[in-house]
Amino acid sequence: MDETRIIQAEDDDMKDAVREAVALLEGGDIVALPTETVYGLGADAFNPEAVAKVFEAKERPSFDPLIVHISHARQLEEVAVVPPEIEETVRKLISAYWPGPLTLVLPKTDRIPDLVTSGQPTVAVRQSAHRVFRGIGKQLGRPIAAPSANRFGRISPTSASAVMKELGGRIPLIVDAGACRDGLESTIIRIEPGEKKPVIHVLRPGPVTKKELQNFGRVIVEKKRLIDAPEAPGQLASHYAPRTPLLMFERPDDFHPEAGKRYGLLSYKEDPKAGYLHRHEWAVVEALSPGSGKLAEAAVRLFHVMRVLDEAGLDAIVAEPVSETGLGQAIMDRLRRASTP
C-alpha cells in the first residue's frame, strides 16, 4: 500500500467519513477509527480475511486476541453467549457502562472467527461511546474487531497524527475525529459466579475503576501476565512501549544517571516534593497533569506525553510513579509494561 488518507469526521464532514469508512470495511479492508479511549484499527469482525489484515498491519502476533465492538447492546447475542449464572451482573454492568470503556470477556458464538479470539473460546466485547465509531458500526450493521491502531507493543495512539506515524503506508484510511476523550484503553473484566456475590476479575485496568466495579461484585485485579495464551488483549508483560528505554524506580535515589547520556523525565505534576524533578538535570521534562495532579488529566495525556518524550532524541526516559488509586492503577499498569526490564 502506497498512501494512507486522512478524512475529517467533524460536524458536516461526518457523513462523508462514515460512508467512506463503511465502504472500505464492507469491501474487506481495514480502517483506523476514533474511540473515546484510543484510536482503533477496525475490520469486519465476521470476515477472517479482513481481520488478518489487522494482524499484518500491526505486526501483531496471532496469539493476542482482539476486542470486538458492537454498535448496540442487542448485537451482543451475535458475538457472545451470556451464561445464565452471570446474566444479571452482565445486565447491570451493561446498563451502567455501555456505551463506554468497559470490555466484557464472554463465551463466543460460532460467528466469531477463531482468528479474532486467537483460538480462545471467549471473546472480548464492548460498545464504544464515540459517536463516529458508533455511526460507522450502525451503518455497517456488523461488529467491528478493533485493537489499538499502532504497531504491536508500541505506544497507543490518541490522535490521527499518531496513527499516521505508526501505520502510515500500511492502511488505506484514518478517520480523524480529534483527540480521544479518555486516553487509556478500556477496562477488561471476566465475571464468574461467587458464593455470596459474583466475582469480577479485572484482566486489564482502565477508565472503569476497581472502586466502581465493587458495586457489582467482589473484585480481583489479576497480576499475572499471560504470555503464551492471553485470554484478553492487554495482558502481555511488555506492551505500550516507546522505542526509547523507559525506566522506573522504587525511589528517586535509585536512579543513577550515566555520564554523557540525555535523560527525560515523565513527571506526574512536576512536584519537587516527589523527589525526581531536582534529582538530575533533565534534557526534557513532560508532566501528565502539570501543577494540579489530576489522575483523569494524567490518563488522557499519558500516551501523548510518552510519544513526545520518545521523539525527543533521549537515551532514556525516567517515569515518575503516580498514586495507585482509581485511575492511577491503570496508569501504573501501562507504565510498568512500557518500562524496560
Domain boundaries, the chain: 5-176, 246-338
- The phi-psi region of residue 334 (left if phi > 0; otherwise alpha if psi is between -120 and 50; otherwise beta) is alpha
Backbone angles phi, psi at 275, to 5 degrees: 95, -5
Residue 336 marked as a ligand binder: no
Rounded-to-10 torsion of CA 237, 242, 245, 246: -70
Residues 6+ apart with CB under 8 A from 337: 225, 236, 237, 238, 239, 240, 241
The reported pTM is 0.93
Cβ atoms within 10 Å, residue 138: 13
Residue 212 C-alpha cell reads as 466502581
Residue 128 marked as a ligand binder: no
Residue 238 marked as a ligand binder: no
- In this structure, CATH architecture of domain 5-176: Alpha-Beta Complex (3.90)
Give, for all 341 residues of the chain, the pLDDT tens digit. 669 999 999 776 789 999 999 999 999 999 999 999 999 999 999 999 999 999 999 999 988 999 999 999 899 999 999 999 999 999 999 999 999 999 999 999 999 999 999 999 999 999 999 999 999 999 999 999 999 999 998 999 999 999 999 999 999 999 999 999 999 999 999 999 998 999 999 999 999 999 999 999 999 998 755 455 677 777 776 678 899 999 999 899 999 999 999 999 999 999 999 999 999 999 999 999 998 889 999 999 999 999 999 999 999 999 999 999 999 999 999 999 899 77
Residue 292 marked as a ligand binder: no
**Rounded-to-integer distance, Cα 257 and Cα 255, Å:** 6
Q: Which amino acid is at 260?
A: G
199 in Cβ contact with 31 (< 8 Å): no
**Rounded-to-integer distance, Cα 238 and Cα 241, Å:** 7
Q: Quote the distance between the C-alpha of residue 274 and its chain's center.
A: 28
Residue 111 marked as a ligand binder: no
SS3 for 103?
strand
**Rounded-to-integer distance, Cα 239 and Cα 126, Å:** 21
Strand partners, 258: none
Strand partners, 40: 33, 148
Q: Which of 339, 21, 13 is nearest to 171 (CA)?
A: 21
Residue 51 C-alpha cell reads as 481481520
* Domain at 246-338, CATH from 3.30.70.20, 3.40.190.10, 3.20.20.100, 3.40.50.11030: 3.40.50.11030
Residue 186 marked as a ligand binder: yes
* Helical H segments across 196-290, by residue range: 210-213
pLDDT of residue 225: 53
Residue 95 marked as a ligand binder: no
The end-to-end CA distance of the chain, in Å, is 35
Residue 151 marked as a ligand binder: no
Residue 37 marked as a ligand binder: yes
**Rounded-to-integer distance, Cα 192 and Cα 83, Å:** 9
Residues 6+ apart with CB under 8 A from 118: 62, 63, 64, 65, 229, 230
Which sign does the torsion angle of CA 258, 264, 267, 270 carry? positive
**Rounded-to-integer distance, Cα 306 and Cα 311, Å:** 9
